[in-house]
Amino acid sequence: MTETYKVTGMTCEHCARSVTEELSELAGVSDVAVDLETGAVTVTTEQPLAEADVRGAVEEAGYQLA
């Protein structure tokens, strides 16, 4: 299953890498794709993720879910 989230505050490849690393650590995540221009983060998982878990991972990376 695939979900797309809007993340604010990302401006560079380092930002994208940080968000990708944090989200990749969540159980069941198989892929993370970041589009810096739009702030879209697409997460592919085996099962649905709780939004609170996604929010926590994004915040751990230093950014905010919109």
User: So what's the pLDDT on residue 59?
Assistant: 97
Query: What integer pLDDT is reported at residue 21 of this predicted model?
Result: 98
How confident is the model at residue 63, as a pLDDT? 97
Distance, CA of 47 to chain centre: 15
What is the distance between the alpha carbons of residues 37 and 48, in angstroms, rounded to a whole number? 26
pLDDT tens for each residue of 51-66 = 999 999 999 999 999 9
